[in-house]
Structure 1
């Protein structure tokens, strides 16, 4: 069940991405197909890697299995025991549970960040209950150099634990040492040093914690002498820690961070030590009499008395983590969908605006262009009316649709300006209708150029034949572009292309230059929406209009006189 939430998040992200691509983004069909396939492939790879990462992580944390971890609903503290931890656990045991906490043994320093990552993957709800205990036994070491080297390794491992979590775990340390005289104390004695207590505190089960000085002063009779000895013993231990442990862990060294303990404690209990260990060496340097070695076969007590003093954070469940990231994905989807809807609406408004502008500019022209412009507006109005009745497509929705305010404008334009009537058949017998030839710019010119291509001759020859069949009229050559690029550049490019067509017909067909009128409209007179590749292709054109007019010019070889 815990592995299901990351997979659900991955699947949710893929579904939202496909929804954006297919339902909102203004892309061509080929682009939608390619992006959809890419999303599906990425989702499949992520699911496969998640499953492989889970298996690899479980195998890399040697010794510790998932059954050693506390259950997901565990309410107590979870402590990762580092350092000298063999005396705290039974042989071949990796976990130890008490009334207040769940202690996990960390075999070596490289295993610590992996174990934290394992918790983050399989027990995310227990991460706020995690803490790191650095256990030290000076009686288990004989060489101070080896002991400091081990501390450096744990220092690096603790610093790496924040990488999978994004925050540092609470770190606390406890030192176990034998009492000054074997058999003096029947039960272990616990001492702690807290930041909010200036003096060492004595922890006694079922009693209020006492400062060390008060604990010694309250002792009477025969019990006072052991308490004084214990206080002196504790002072020697603190001096050893300040000389050996504190300089190593509290000072950064290279890539090793400085470690700060939230709590430090001492447990005085019989410890099975090595001969000539660090603690014996330290005591002998002061008294010249090494302490006697104490032996015990059972596991030493765990510091449950210190757990209430540890910092606590509220826990999170896998469900809350899932809904948090699902909310982030939903928010990102909504923002991108609204952006795409805004772009679609702006493009739609520009297209209708172009149609309205074209319709208004046809005032005073011949009837056929007016009729074509009117038909475009009627088609736009019919589409808006259909959306008003049946619902707006989702790519224009999300509260950004503005077609309702465009429909009255279209209806008013169609009502205020009626199209001019087509010429009467009787008139056409005496005055020929103007004829317009549309030439595709890409068949004549390279993209962004105005020099005729070598293969454009066949297209121009057909137009020249039509011109020579109707001699004496004015030949209007108009260049047009789409809305891609700078408007001023597009206007100049359209004019240059029209001049190139005129020059070819003048030089090749012998048509006098006085028979031509050259115009460059740029992107101002589209015949199709610029929002699609097909519409932009139709707008890139050169129009040749043959205007009838007797004696407008003279074609060589004809009997028509050139007008004055």
Structure 2
């Protein structure tokens, strides 16, 4: 039993906390640290509420031990019989169980809420099985105000029962009147049935057609009027503190029940018919007083069902969390639509000719498309799942925009700069052109000069530089003079042979100052004895009369 109480104490706050944390972690945009703090706080709340509920429910169960309960596992209607139950109705036992229902004696109408609380503390699933049966014996009531007070108490207790169980229990009004004996009559809505024992039920009209029932009609009709005007109208009165009661059914019968001449029923019957009810009482079996025919009508409406104030609160928390989750999901989807729409509008607003901003907007759209594609493959995040996720439609719009992108055409190739012609240089061996120590060209040197200087041509803007070099044999002064004379001799040959103006030449003698090899060896000294002829750009060089100075980069000869 204590284990069951513990589960009932822990389960409601645990369910509510799980629902709240599901909302926090799945849908709310909160920092992770705050979510973690809320999770810890939820665990503490569960422990505190579970402990409080466990202590309260355990106390109720302990006080409820030894009470009156239906058989274990009973699933039919459980009728809490209150009102006039002091006539030995439950003489044999305070609990009477049949195949169709179970009657439990409630000592007084004021204890109805307490009695039901003990039942539900022991078995909460019985909340949907509870039925209130108010038994009224008009032959025992002499004060109408006292009867109305008991009916008001009934309304208060039913209101408290609704708060306790979460449901308004069906209310059955049972009335027994002194008069000719009749079977139970069940009045529900506009229909009325007469239920003879061990016989099929008849409509009230068909039952009255039976000849033996003629003398019963006055009693029955006034009994119905009494129930309507004294009891049902009182239950239907408007009261701001107690809601009106609309009975599920009214059951009544007449027979040999106790009555006094001062009773409300005696006064009513005499005032309307000048008849008096029979005062002789024949002892009837207790089963005669139980309205079993109403049990078949109650069966579909009285089933085991979890309820109560705690159940309503749990349902309310779950409903609020679900509504909040749907609202958050809708908001997240709206933000997604607004973000993608803003990116698409920016994309459309940028002209195609603005290539750099267009490429930046394209990159943003591509990132959005990749994100939506990943969600399509791996599953939509939970925060978007309850609000009509528009991912496929947005992805299609983004792809259509990306397909319209026209990349920037490549820039035209830059013209290759004209290659600056490298000045030609010819290196001639001095000993092939001159005798040792001499500056006059040899007789056989002309052919070598022609073959060697075929690429050295006079061009406007180019200066033909002829420079002479010697080895380090002899004095530097003599070597310098010799190199200059040899250079001049080659210049004179080129000038006279090619008819080249004097202005196209420059003659230089360097002597031994610019060796190209080591003078310590015969081979090195042979390389150093040379005449070099090269072309050097110079704007005013080699100009003909009345000719504009050409660019030194022009490689065309004349």
Deviation at residue 18 of structure 1 after TM alignment: 3.2
**Structure-2 residue corresponding to 1:191:** 185
* Residue 326 (structure 2) aligns with: 335
Pick aligned residue for 2:211 from 218, 224, 228? 218
SS at match of 1:103: strand
Distance 2:155 2:289 in 1: 24
Instruction: Name the SS of the counterpart of 1:54 in structure 2.
Output: helix
Change (3 A) 1:204 1:93: closer
Q: How is 1:228-307 mapped onto 2 (pairs within 5 angstroms)?
A: 228-242=214-228, 244-271=230-257, 277-280=263-266, 286-287=274-275, 291-295=279-283, 298=286, 300-307=288-295
Alignment counterpart, residue 42 of structure 2, candidates 15, 39, 43: 39
| Residue 97 (structure 2) pairs with residue 104 (structure 1) | no
Helix, strand or coil for the counterpart of 2:296? helix
For 1:369-380, what aligned pairs fall within 5 Å after superposition? none
Cα offset, 1:329, TM superposition: 7.8
Match of 2:199 among 196, 206, 220: 206
Instruction: State how 1:315-464 maps to structure 2 within 5 Å.
Output: 315=303, 331-332=322-323, 335=326, 338=329, 342=333
Find the aligned partners of 2:398 and 2:205 in 1 and give their Cα distance.
85
Distance 1:201 1:21, change over 3 A: closer
Q: Measured at CA, do residues 240 and 178 of structure 1 come closer, stay the same or move farther in structure 2, by a change above 3 Å?
A: same
**Closer, same or farther: CA 179–63 of 1 in aligned 2, 3 Å:** farther
Deviation at 1:164, TM superposition (A): 4.7
**Do the aligned partners of 1:139 and 1:280 also contact (CA within 8 Å) in 2?**
yes
Q: Distance in 2 between matches of 1:58 and 1:178?
A: 42
CA positional deviation for 1:302: 0.7
Deviation at 1:102, TM superposition (A): 1.1
C-alpha distance in structure 2 between counterparts of 1:343 and 1:5, whole Å = 41
CA distance in 2, matches of 1:388, 1:129: 49
Match of 1:85 in 2: 85
Structure 1 residue 136 and structure 2 residue 136: aligned?
yes
Give the equivalent residue in structure 2 for 1:444: none
How has the CA–CA distance of structure 1 residues 326 and 189 changed in structure 2, closer, same or farther, with 3 Å as cutoff?
same
Instruction: Measure the CA separation in 2 of the matches of 1:417 and 1:57.
Output: 85
CA contact (8 A) 2:208 2:214 kept: no
Q: CA separation of 1:92/1:296 partners in 2, compared to 1, >3 Å: closer, same or farther?
A: closer
State the 1:97 CA deviation.
Answer: 0.8
1:237-295 Cα deviation digits (max 9, x unpaired): 44544553344223334534433334323233443567854445556663578723444
Residues 27-66 of structure 1 aligned to structure 2 (within 5 Å):
27-52=30-55, 54-55=57-58, 65=67
Report the CA distance shift for 1:87/1:3 in structure 2 as closer, same or farther (over 3 A): farther
> Paired residues, what number?
396
Quote how far apart the aligned CAs of 1:158 are: 2.9
2: distance between equivalents of 1:195 and 1:392?
55
3-state SS of 2:198 partner:
coil
Using the TM superposition, give the Cα deviation of residue 135 of structure 1 relative to its aligned residue in structure 2, in angstroms: 0.8
Q: Name the structure 2 match of 1:308.
A: 296
The C-alpha deviation readout for 1:128-171, integer Å capped at 9, x for no partner, is 54432221112333433322322221133234444456654333
Q: Distance in 1 between matches of 2:372 and 2:297?
A: 71
Shift of 1:43: 3.0
| Two-structure CA RMSD over aligned residues (Å) | 5.8
Any stretches of 5+ residues in structure 2 without a counterpart?
Answer: 348-353, 411-558
Change (3 A) 1:105 1:64: farther
- The separation in 2 between residues aligned to 1:389 and 1:151, in whole angstroms, is 65
Question: Which of 1 and 2 has greater Rg?
Answer: 2
Q: Aligned partners of 2:188, 2:250: CA distance in 1, in Å?
A: 7
Three-state SS of the structure 1 residue aligned to 2:175 is strand
Native 8 Å contact 1:2 1:318 kept in 2: no
Deviations along 1:307-348, one digit per CA (max 9) or x if unpaired, are 3345834846559x9998898588457536635855896899
**Residues 408/191 of structure 1: CA separation in 2 closer, same or farther (3 Å cut):** closer
**Which residue of 2 is the match for residue 15 of structure 1?**
18
Between the aligned partners of 2:254 and 2:278, the Cα distance in structure 1 is: 17
Distance in 2 separating the partners of 1:88 and 1:157: 24
Equivalent positions of 1:543-554 (< 5 A) are: none
23, 26, 29: which one pairs with 1:26? 29
Per-residue CA distance 1:152-200 (angstroms, 9 max, x = gap): 21133234444456654333222123445xxxx6xx73334444347x7
Bigger mean CA offset, 234-243 vs 385-394: 385-394
Instruction: Give distance in 2, aligned partners of 1:332 and 1:265.
Output: 45
Residue 171 (structure 2) pairs with residue 171 (structure 1): yes
**Number of the residue aligned with 1:481:** none
CA contact (8 A) 1:190 1:202 kept: yes
**Alignment check: 8 A CA contact 2:176 2:252 kept:** yes
Deviation at 1:304, TM superposition (A): 0.7
Partners of 1:175 and 1:392 lie apart in 2 by 65
